Amino acid sequence: METIQQDIPQTKADDEEVNNFLSGERPAVTQAVLYLDGVSVSFDGFKAIRNLSLYLEPGEMRAIIGPNGAGKTTMMDIITGKTRPDEGEVLFDHGRHDLTQLDETAIANLGIGRKFQKPTVFESHTVADNILLALKGPRGPFACLYGWRNNVPAEKIDEILTTTGLLEHRNRMAGEISHGQKQWLEIGMLLAQDPAVLLVDEPVAGMTDAETVQTADLLRSIARNHAVVVVEHDMDFVRALNCKVTCLHEGSVLAEGPLDAVAGDQRVIEVYLGR
Amino acid sequence: MITKYLISRHDKAGIVFLTIVGLMAVLAPLSNLLLPESSPLHVPTYVLALLGKYLCYATLAVALDLVWGYCGILSLGHGAFFALGGYAMGMYLMRQIGTRGVYGNPVLPDFMVFLNWKELPWFWYGFDMFPFSLLMMVAVPGLLAFVFGWLAFRSRVTGVYLSIITQALTYALLLAFFRNDMGFGGNNGLTDFKDILGFNIQADGTRATLFFLSAILLIAVYLISRWIVHTSYGKVLVAVRDAEARARFLGYRTEHYKLFVFTVSAMMAGLAGALYVPQVGIINPSEFAPANSIEAVVWVAVGGRGTLVGAALGAFAVNFMKTFFTTGALAAYWLFLLGGLFILVTLVMPKGILGLFGSMSAKLRKPGSSQPAALQPAE
């Protein structure tokens, strides 16, 4: 598959240019930390994703918008190995790994972390233990029985709790903290995992305006040394992220580029923003 | 590191539990052997046998709690591992009978002579040696659990479906062991044991020793389980129980975690069954009955799921009630009582007897507070 890509000039994706995918220009696979090309998947005849192409540079931040049913969450399911695509390429780390051949665990260990739409934390563990379980390190049964993870210094956990503003809640049960705090805890768990790519599904759902602003700051600081993909409906939040935006519709890319260009696109207004 | 852990960091319930079982292990056999029968502190042999049986049940309950309470694997077939360990012990005891059987055959157990078998089936080889038999008491349940678990967990069979196939597993074994040509004594099972390691199995000294060993096994199984659940391995188990998909997306190979703990638990259950058989004097296919495995689940639920101590407590409490009710006029209603108890516990005290103690002592310490005590099981 690399040979197909060889003759395409290695251009860096141009933020100014909207819809570069649709105009037929495909960036080289070797530049992308995450590379999706021609991906399709259908459930019982319903095409959830059709011919989707997306590519993400190392350290890039990307917001994904689009109406309900556009395939945003399904796309994340495909990247993280929960759903196998019917066709298409899903490559990670400059084309080194074919994600369609791996399961969730293997993909997570390669360095792709995910935050779910509904905050999913381990509710009967303390906040600190949630971070402990997420920390990057050996994850085999025996490593956990008498190895590394039993001797993690508290400072390492507290550092992440400080970043996510949860330090004072470190010994509370994760089931007891508020919805917004759970969202942050899950982002903290992603940080602890220290993946190359973070997939963040609706991080500000159910948050107050102040919390939303803090979350945007948090994600922007994470994006300084990780590639981040954020799915979100809240346009103010997307604006605060100040990054390249991809609009999905009916399972494929409708428009891509800076927020203002995408938001000004006639088709985007028609199917998404105008409603 | 492990030894340091074993002598430190025990919660109150754990210390009380270890003290009681430890005292029981020493005092009950000594009282049975040394005190005269007229003494009010004398423990009669039948009580010792009964308590020994309870100790084995409690061990099974702790093993079950390890997989159900902490990892969310509701096994409705743990009785199968218990019975397999029991059969391994039974086979050893059968080989010890030698020429003292009804037919006096030095090699073949009576039921084989009766069935007109000419030679020992291959799977009975080696059971005349105790070390080999001991290995089999652990290895056979462990291997079955490993193969079964590998297939089930790899295919991501969870929840009620897993419970149903564990139930089917024990039922299939029940049917298989009923067959005479399986070579395990069919319907009658294995019985009429004479010696264990050269000691008369009926002798008071042997019974006392078996009782002592049962108590030691319970303590050992408790300590091992407690060690497992207090490492970060145990934290991963709880994570798998509460949000398995999340654990997978963090990079944990959850099926390996489940497989390991399921196999360890089956081995523990096998040893409990092995000590159970010489104390009750018989092992037959009815030990595989699905109802037995379900009863074990009731013990854990009644005592308090996810606490280990609660599981043992529940095994004692329910079996004491069973002994009490099935010997009186209420015998016919025992199963209704058991069912009622399970419903009552689930509805009124979801955290079991231990949870009840916990919330009572929390209330005493801090009036008006509904905060549960530290040793509460996680939901």
- Confirm whether B93 is domain-assigned: yes
Q: Does B3 touch chain A if contact means CB atoms closer than 8 Å?
A: no
CB contact under 8 Å between A125 and B243, yes or no, is no
Establish if B17 belongs to a structural domain: no
Q: Which residue of A has its CA nearest to B154?
A: A103
Q: Percent of chain B beyond pLDDT 70?
A: 93
Least trusted range by pLDDT, from A169-173, A199-203, B2-6, B55-59: B2-6
Select from A45, A53, A50 the least CA-distant residue to A19.
A53
Please indicate whether, in this complex, the C-beta atoms of A80 and B249 are within 8 angstroms of each other: yes
**Total domain count for chain B?**
1
pLDDT bucket at B10, cuts 50 / 70 / 90: low
Whether residues A141 and B239 touch (CB distance < 8 A) is answered with no
User: Beta strands of chain B (E only): which ranges?
Assistant: 190-191, 195-196, 199-200, 282-283
* Interface test with chain B among A145, A156, A157, by most B beta carbons within 10 Å: A145
Q: Which of B246, B378, B379 sits opposite A120 (nearest CB)?
A: B246
pLDDT for position A49: 93
Distance from CA of B79 to the nearest CA of A (A): 26
Which of A10-19, A247-256, B54-63 is predicted most confidently?
B54-63
Tokens standing for residue B221: 């199984």
**Amino acid A143: pLDDT:** 86
Q: What percent of chain A has pLDDT over 70?
A: 89
CA distance B293 to B113: 33
B266 domain residue, yes or no:
yes
**Closest approach of B257 to chain A, Cα-based (Å):** 6
Contact A141 B260 (CB under 8 A): yes
Q: What is the pLDDT of residue A173?
A: 95
- Residue B281: count of CB within 10 angstroms of its CB: 15
pLDDT digits (tens, 9 = 90+) for B151-206: 999 999 999 999 999 999 999 999 999 999 999 999 999 999 999 999 999 999 99
Residues of A with CB under 8 A from a CB of B: 80, 82, 103-105, 108-109, 113-114, 116, 120-125, 129, 132-134, 139-141, 144-146, 149-150, 189, 193
How far apart, in whole angstroms, are the C-alpha atoms of residue B350 and residue B140? 34
- Facing B249 at nearest CB: one of A114, A129, A150: A114
Q: A30 pLDDT band (50/70/90 cuts)?
A: confident
Question: In chain A, whose CA is at the least distance from the CA of B258?
Answer: A141
Q: Does the residue B343 lie in any domain? A: no
CB contact under 8 A, A122 and B243: yes
* B146 at A interface, C-beta within 8 A: no
Pick among B232, B242, B370 to test the A interface (most A CBs inside 10 A): B232
Q: Does B250 touch chain A (CB under 8 A)?
A: yes
Single-letter code of the amino acid located at A75: M
Residue B335 pLDDT exceeds 90: no
Whether the CA torsion B194, B196, B200, B203 is positive or negative: it is negative
CB contacts of A116 in chain B (<8 Å) are 246
Which among B328, B370, B365, B342 is positioned nearest to B12, based on CA atoms? B365
Contact A143, A149 (CB under 8 A): yes
Using CB atoms, which residue from A82, A108, A120 is nearest to B251?
A108
Q: What sign results for the dihedral spanned by CA atoms A156, A159, A164, A168? A: positive
Task: Considering only CA atoms, give the Rg of chain B.
Answer: 21
Interface check B243 vs A, CB under 8 A = yes
Residue B172 domain-assigned?
Answer: yes
The distance of A120 to chain B (nearest Cα, Å) reads 7
Chain A positions in Cβ-Cβ contact with residue B248 (cut-off 8 Å): 103-105, 108
Average pLDDT of chain A is 86
pLDDT at A68: 86
**Domain limits for position B210:** 22-292
The model's pTM is: 0.89
For Cα atoms B95, B100, B103, give the angle at the middle one, nearest 5 degrees: 95
How many angstroms away from the CA of B240 is the closest CA of chain A?
Answer: 9
Q: Decide if pLDDT at A22 tops 70.
A: no
B/e letters for B117-140, b = 16+ CB within 10 Å, e = fewer, are eeebeeebeebbeeeebeebbbbb
pLDDT 10s digits, B100-146 = 999 989 999 999 999 999 999 999 999 999 999 999 999 999 999 99
Pairwise CA distance, residues B95 & B198, whole Å: 12
Query: Is pLDDT of A18 > 70?
Result: no
**Would residue B345 count as lying in a domain?**
no
Q: Which residues of A touch B232 (CB under 8 A)?
A: 132-133, 144, 149-150
Check if B373 contacts A (Cβ < 8 Å).
Answer: no
Q: What does the pLDDT read at residue B120?
A: 93
Are B235 and A120 a contacting pair at CB < 8 A? Answer: no
The answer, for B224 touching chain A at a CB cutoff of 8 Å, is: no
Distance, in Å, from the CA atom of A131 to the CA atom of B375, rounded to the nearest integer, reads: 22
* Structural domain contains residue B116: yes
Contact (Cβ atoms closer than 8 angstroms) between residue B32 and residue B44: yes
- Torsions phi, psi of A46, nearest 5? -85, 125
Confidence of residue A10 (pLDDT cuts 50, 70, 90): very low
Confidence band of A206 (pLDDT split at 50, 70, 90): confident
Q: What is the rounded distance in angstroms from the CA atom of residue B240 to the CA atom of residue B258?
A: 8
- B288 in any annotated domain: yes
Reported as a single tens digit per residue, the pLDDT across B225-249 is: 999 999 999 999 999 999 999 999 9
Binary contact (B235, A125; C-beta < 8 A) = yes
A9 compared with A140, residue with greater pLDDT: A140
The distance of A130 to chain B (nearest Cα, Å) reads: 9
Q: What does the pLDDT look like over A130-163, one tens digit per residue?
A: 999 999 999 999 888 888 888 889 999 999 999 9
Residue B238 at interface with chain A, using a CB cutoff of 8 Å: yes
Q: Of A91-95, A220-224, A250-254, B362-366, which range is least confident?
A: B362-366
